[in-house]
Structure 1
């Protein structure tokens, strides 16, 4: 969603916070004493000035709530909406930002630092998009958040972070080195440390990748950015020599292998791969092999110092399973 600049929509320039200049610092309670609004929320509507919406960004503390605000490559400030748990919706403060043009309100930004805030100036809403983020104090619980693209109407003399990736209009794929930091989770929760199962998976990936290199193959990892997304996808291994797309899992449980199939299907929308493969620490049981092979997915697992490979064959139809009603 893109919006026209306000001055192209019949608006007139005006400065609502007449006694503040970008860069001015004051206590947050002084802001609300002067202009009104809720002192606790990240987005608030002034009760004393009816035509202003105030938003606050806190780079030091926002990460614990999954709020990774920052400058994008488009010159806009990408601001995560309110809502600390569950999927965010375009209600309350988020709706205020989205509709502030039509409601005749300006949008004024502040950077928080403890009890003090620094005025950033007035912003225009250019558009918004949705992406994934973790919930408050729980980096394992993912939810969807709304991100507003805000363009400052004047220079912002305050240092603010940059977002890792701005959305792109067309899909993009490139080969990157096989490194643990190249993961989808690293874009959602940059401060999160890998867990034991993830480290086991990374070790498996490193070992298999090195075996490909030792055979003279060119191996890396695919970074895929779907259109309109700000979070890249990462395959575990991409064998450029054979066009093999590999997803690794640290165990052969049904849940893990189901996840691997979904990830391969996701990546496969953007890449012409000759072979899809799941890399696991040991041979899957018969039913899970059948499951993978029926989708044309092979299996690779370590066998001493070598690797065993189970390629899918054309499966014989089993026919419908008789359902027993209880």
Structure 2
């Protein structure tokens, strides 16, 4: 605990620097003068950097590391948290990032893991970041947000409604507006699901939280009746179809699927059909008011 400061008390970062030697800028601020590492969590500014700190179901506070661009490492300011115990420094938490901040209390490092986040002010660029799992050493009476999902040792798989229009990117960059391609895919998925339900199939989508990950991944369609895993794409370009195959392989590790299929707006050209066939992926596309299917499963 910081001498002369109680959890819930407020002070400016300038005053914090004067009293304890912590920098007036940055999310992680080590100080040799007071043998502390101060870290700052602020949802208002953190989300712009892709940082979504919060309490996990494990009762630990999950705190995103420093580094606004490119993959984060355990070097630089992040090393101050990793080595705080070995260097005899306490780890002190504040809510807020600049101006007036609120003292939360002392924490200790339990573990860390890596996950995906967008770059500062750029939700289109995804990078790997480090997340520290921190245990409070005092009662926390300052409001801090919860995590949507806490990393688990084993995969968690469940079927959710098609209407639950989440994507992996929605969890990495929840403030980002959907792309036109995503909206086109959603319309295609809606049309095909209407058809499946009209012929008596039960449909949903798989939400998978892989082991050790903090972000779920979502299939586009899970045909519960035939156990077919379907990934939709808004175009039949090579890049789109290669991406679809990779996604089906990823989801397929956690699903007992009988077949994999890609749902596209038109028939792919011959070489791409051959590629999908070699990958064991079927093709589904609209044909007037109906649907055509190319079964390429090996």
TM-score, normalised with respect to structure 1: 0.89
Matches within 5 A, 1:281-320: 281-312=265-296
Deviation per residue, 1:218-276 (Å, 9 max, x gap): 10000011111111111000001000000000000110000000001111111121110
Specify which of 13, 18, 26 is matched with residue 28 of structure 1.
13
Matches within 5 A, 1:244-283: 244-283=228-267
1:146 maps onto 2:130 in alignment: yes
Q: Distance in 2 between matches of 1:57 and 1:279?
A: 42
Q: Which runs of 4+ in 1 moved over 4 A?
A: none
Q: Distance in 1 between matches of 2:116 and 2:148?
A: 13
1:70·1:160 contact (CA, 8 Å) conserved in 2?
yes
Q: Distance in 1 between matches of 2:174 and 2:163?
A: 15
Post-superposition shift, 1:210?
Answer: 1.5
Specify which of 142, 153, 167 is matched with residue 183 of structure 1.
167
Post-superposition shift, 1:161?
Answer: 1.1
- Partner residue in 1 for 2:25: 40
1:180·1:202 contact (CA, 8 Å) conserved in 2?
no
Post-superposition shift, 1:114?
Answer: 4.8
1:104 maps onto 2:60 in alignment: no
Post-superposition shift, 1:38?
Answer: 2.1
1:18 maps onto 2:3 in alignment: yes
1:205·1:248 contact (CA, 8 Å) conserved in 2?
yes
1:235 maps onto 2:219 in alignment: yes
- Partner residue in 2 for 1:9: none
2:188·2:265 contact (CA, 8 Å) conserved in 1?
yes
Deviation per residue, 1:257-301 (Å, 9 max, x gap): 000000011111111211100000000000100000111100000
1:127 maps onto 2:143 in alignment: no
Q: Distance in 2 between matches of 1:313 and 1:129?
A: 37
Q: Distance in 2 between matches of 1:85 and 1:36?
A: 27
- Partner residue in 2 for 1:3: none
Q: Distance in 2 between matches of 1:197 and 1:295?
A: 24
1:25·1:116 contact (CA, 8 Å) conserved in 2?
yes
RMSD, aligned CA: 1.1
1:64 maps onto 2:48 in alignment: yes
In terms of Rg, which structure is larger? 1
1:199 maps onto 2:187 in alignment: no
1:173·1:223 contact (CA, 8 Å) conserved in 2?
yes
Specify which of 53, 57, 71 is matched with residue 87 of structure 1.
71
